[in-house]
Amino acid sequence: MSDRFMIYGATGYTGKLVARTAKAQGLNPLLAGRNEARLKSIAAQHGFEYQAISLDEPEALDAGLSQVDAVLHIAGPFSQTSKPMVDACLRTGTHYLDITGEIDVFEACAARDEEAKKAGVMLMSGVGFDVVPSDCLAAHMKARLPDATELTLAISGLGQMSHGTAKTGVESIGKGTRVRRDGRIVTARKTPRREIDFGEGPKPAVAIGWGDVSTAWHSTHIPDITVYFESSPQLEQMAKMGSVARWVMSLGPMQRALKKRIEQLPEGPSDAERRAGYSVLFGEAVNAEGASVRTLLRTPEGYTLTAMTSLEIVSRVLAGEAKPGYQTPSAVFGPDFIAQFEGCSYRDLNA
């Protein structure tokens, strides 16, 4: 191997943004994906090498990965693409990084912890906005209240989604609202709601089955975890769906129709929208006696932050900071990892 990394999925919205950011940082990734014509065009813009590789061609995938030390896997939906890439990474001894926010993908990678340790490979899902800031915030809350038994995380300021992110959301409709209770991931009988102050007064928030329901437990072992988004009409509509409606929306014909509609939308936020955007994350930890701590974390817009955090983690892995096995961002790099990025800052509300 050659102290080099691959960006797989370089032709989508996030992949193109990460490739552009890599060029600005002086990095030299190998671009890969299925569509050779689109890869060739993007690679030519930046002077990168490229290879057209399909995930259902194991020999070609292994040959591509044998040229690099790590892969930054950006091709979603990860429910379909993660396993073949992880399989190939374990075969070739290549460190695996992705930008998923899908609970099932995190749990599938965690289940391969021992396999990864034996292969000397680090499996780290969620190295972008999903879930670096919220995972670091979870670890920060644990450090502030070491005996915490309940953890609440909430996110405000999410803007326009890329096609890939929107399609992942569509795929999750049938799964209901998942939370963690007594250390186990369960589906809530009724979607939790509460008001959360993101810094400008209380706002209604709706619980969602976000990736931290998985990762925050692996990072902190706090047994009860709920994740919220600031409420929106779309989230309210989903939260009010009954089990029958969710089942209908999860069927193939409905899924295809919804994804076709997504393809008609803009590919993702413009550069100007990304520069103007930001997010605020809220963390609250409570212990068995009722003591609580609360913290706000401000970050740049999500896709901008994804490019920043994912490439920093790639650079650290290439520098030898990988830890074999399944890992979360805060477990390897610590709760203050997020604070090093421009535009990111913690504010402890009851220090």
Mind listing the pLDDT tens digit for each residue in 195-221? 999 999 999 999 999 999 999 999 999
Report the chain's mean pLDDT, rounded to a whole number: 90
Kindly tell me if the per-residue pLDDT of 45 is higher than 90.
yes
Kindly tell me if the per-residue pLDDT of 165 is higher than 80.
no
Q: What is the mean pLDDT of residues 7-29?
A: 96
Q: Give me the pLDDT at residue 1, please.
A: 44
- Give the DSSP letter string of 70-99: EEEE--S-HHHHHHHHHHHHHHHT-EEEE-
Q: What is the mean pLDDT of residues 288-297?
A: 98
DSSP-derived 3-state class of residue 241: coil
pLDDT in tens, 310-346: 999 999 999 999 999 999 999 999 999 999 999 999 9
* Cis amide linkage into residue 77, ω under 30° from 0: yes
**pLDDT band for position 233 (cuts 50, 70, 90):** low
**pLDDT band for position 55 (cuts 50, 70, 90):** very high
CA torsion angle 205 333 127 141 (round to 10): -10
Q: Which residues of 56-82 are buried (b: 16+ CB within 10 A; e: fewer)?
A: eeeebbbebbebbbbbbbbbbbbbebb
Q: Which of 72, 128, 83 is nearest to 107 (CA)?
A: 83
Kindly tell me if the per-residue pLDDT of 161 is higher than 60.
no
Q: Are 171 and 255 in contact, with CB atoms under 8 Å apart?
A: yes
Q: Interior CA angle at 307 toward 215 and 347, to 5°?
A: 60
Q: Give me the pLDDT at residue 21, please.
A: 97
Q: Give me the pLDDT at residue 257, please.
A: 72
CATH 3.30.360.10, applies to 132-301+340-348: yes
Q: Are 268 and 246 in contact, with CB atoms under 8 Å apart?
A: no
- Give the DSSP letter string of 243-283: HHHHHHHHSHHHHHHHHHHHHTS-SS--HHHHHH-EEEEEE
Q: Give me the pLDDT at residue 157, please.
A: 75
Kindly tell me if the per-residue pLDDT of 187 is higher than 80.
yes
CB atoms within 10 A of CB 305: 24
CA atoms of 187 and 149, how far apart (whole Å): 19
For 5-128+304-330, the fitting CATH number among 3.40.50.300, 3.40.1010.10, 3.40.50.720, 3.20.20.140 is 3.40.50.720
Q: Where are the domains of the chain?
A: 5-128+304-330, 132-301+340-348
Q: Which of 216, 142, 214, 225 is nearest to 181 (CA)?
A: 225
Beta bridge partners of 25: none
- By percentage, how much of the chain surpasses pLDDT 70? 85
